[in-house]
Structure 1
Amino acid sequence: MDLANFLIQLLNGLQYGLLLFMLAAGLTLIFGIMGVVNLAHGSFYMIGAYMAWSMSALFGNLFVAIVVGAVLSVALGWALEWVLFRHFYHRDHLDQVLLTFGLIYIFEELRSLLWGDDVHAVQMPASLDWAIPLTDNLSYPVYRLVMSGICVLLALALYLLISKTRLGMKIRAGAFNHDMTEALGINIRLIHGIVFAIGVGLASVAGMIAAPISSVYPNMGSTVLIMCFVVVVIGGIGSVRGALVASLLVGLVDTFGKVLLPQVAGMLVYMVMAAVLLYKPEGLFKH
């Protein structure tokens, strides 16, 4: 592999890893703070992709569609937490699994009714539909770099929110000790609603920005959900820092594995997960 090909695969791996982080960060926050096993998290990625397809056609601009879709996704997350999830915090994980598994089917049926069952392509913004030449024969799409930049900005914003604000302090307190946080007078239900809305918003935005390069199709959330759980397990349940490190690791292993070891590429990520759990059963970073 020459330098240009290595650089392309490195950028692809980082871009994929950052996209996984946007999904896994919300999943690990929801589980770490609320204790909810959310199997429907991949459905929010699918919903975001379909919203990008429909609203980019409506507004004629993908970035306007992303902004509007992000607001709608946060509102959807808040409503779901208020109507459904807050009634399951003190229930068994099996009840939560059954609830979220049922939501997968509900979202798939709603998707079929609203948008149909066809595969759709999302038009890439004309200003970003070009590539940077690396050699005479190789180039790298600018849109992928923009995707990575958006993911980095959102990851930085999430870090600042959790680490540097009073709201973040309350979120960390709720993750550390739910009962003590509530005893100190903090409205833990409000914190749960905010965390769930943030998680849904991040997953939906990930689907929206990925739509132009991955297309939009039924059940597209199932594959990313599996990878999200792998990331959460490797990084450590409830750890946002662990989710970032694990996402980048999974992205690079998966990308380079498909190029260098295509015969076993489908196993490599799970082998890495097994190796991590063998030596650190709680993941790379403790909650």
Structure 2
Amino acid sequence: MDIILVQLITGIAYGMLYFMIAAGLTIILGVMNVVNLSHGALFMLGSYLAFTFISNGINFWFALLLSAISVGIFGFILEKVLIKRVYGKVLQQVLLTFGLMLVIADSVKWIWGTEMQLIPAPAILNMSIPIGDMAFPVFRLFVVFVGILLAVLLWYLEAKTRVGAVIRAGVDDRAMVSALGINVGVVFTGVFIFGAALAGFSGVLGGPLLGMYTGMDAEILITSLIVVVIGGLGSWKGSFIGALIIGVLEIFGKVWFPSLSMLIVFLIMMIILIIRPQGLFGREVA
């Protein structure tokens, strides 16, 4: 039972990490209709920036903030210079953001090399607590707490603020929002910055949990896309549930069926899409 409990909490921790990056991805997709395949590369960039900051004597918390802001600024530049040129053009979005993913990945290899790195957990969280006869890292519990806090924050922004109302309206009817005098371009830019910063933020939290290595951008992107598809396009609530499902299944799969863990994840995705093609919380398209 101790092993099962430890693996369950570990799966939830991984799920919360997947939720943090998938939330940014699904918000960008839901509000802007932009398929951003460079999102995983932004996650990786956040990790490596934090690694550099910490290696130069900056503490983990300040490095977390700096990395999120830096990736957010980078996202602002991307949206203003490149992304805004391909609004409404799905094929061009896919090609552009896929190219951006390759450019960012190769730049990371050139700057930081190809050796696997690890961001050390902050001293206050670099310890373990006993669960039965086993020790469980406190940092994983912290990731669970941050994921839940983010979910509450997104709910509050969506349900209780004017910004959330504008975003919901923009998802339903962009033309109406523009007719009301709201600058949709500013909304789109803000959403992209938020999504990019969230990717960088989750990349820093993922550093102590996953490590940093070449190819992690593609791996985390595939997992995030699975989460988004299961949860429903444009639904952060769906991303939350989908991420929990994938995180728990992935951990239990790696423990009990290591050679079939990803196959199990894809099978679950197929079953959900057969039952609900729009995803768990996605809306049916008339």
SS at match of 1:59: coil
Count of aligned pairs: 283
- Cα deviation 1:193-231 (Å, max 9, x = unaligned): 111111111111111011023222222111011011111
Q: Are the equivalent residues in 1 in contact too, given 2:105–2:217 (CA < 8 A)? A: no
Structure 2 runs not aligned, ≥5 long: none
Show the 5 A alignment for 1:93-108.
93-108=90-105
| Mapped partners of 2:180, 2:51: distance in 1 | 45
Match of 1:217 among 210, 213, 218: 213
After TM superposition, the structure 1 stretch with the greater mean CA deviation from structure 2, 10-19 or 215-224, is 215-224
| Mapped partners of 1:107, 1:63: distance in 2 | 24
After TM superposition, the structure 1 stretch with the greater mean CA deviation from structure 2, 40-49 or 249-258, is 249-258
Show the 5 A alignment for 1:1-287.
3-91=1-89, 93-136=90-133, 138-287=134-283
| Mapped partners of 2:180, 2:257: distance in 1 | 53
Q: Are the equivalent residues in 2 in contact too, given 1:46–1:219 (CA < 8 A)? A: no
- Cα deviation 1:125-153 (Å, max 9, x = unaligned): 222221101233x1101111112212222
- Cα deviation 1:236-261 (Å, max 9, x = unaligned): 11111111111111111111222233
Structure 1 runs not aligned, ≥5 long: none
| Mapped partners of 2:123, 2:239: distance in 1 | 33
Normalised to the residue count of structure 2, the TM-score between the two structures is 0.95
AA in 2 matched with 1:23: I
| Mapped partners of 1:171, 1:232: distance in 2 | 18
Q: CA deviation at 1:5?
A: 1.0
Work out the percentage of aligned pairs sharing the same amino acid: 39
Q: Are the equivalent residues in 2 in contact too, given 1:22–1:151 (CA < 8 A)? A: yes
- Cα deviation 1:129-181 (Å, max 9, x = unaligned): 21101233x11011111122122222222221122111111111111111221
Q: CA deviation at 1:263?
A: 4.1
SS at match of 2:146: helix
Q: How has the CA–CA distance of structure 1 residues 170 and 59 changed in structure 2, closer, same or farther, with 3 Å as cutoff? A: farther
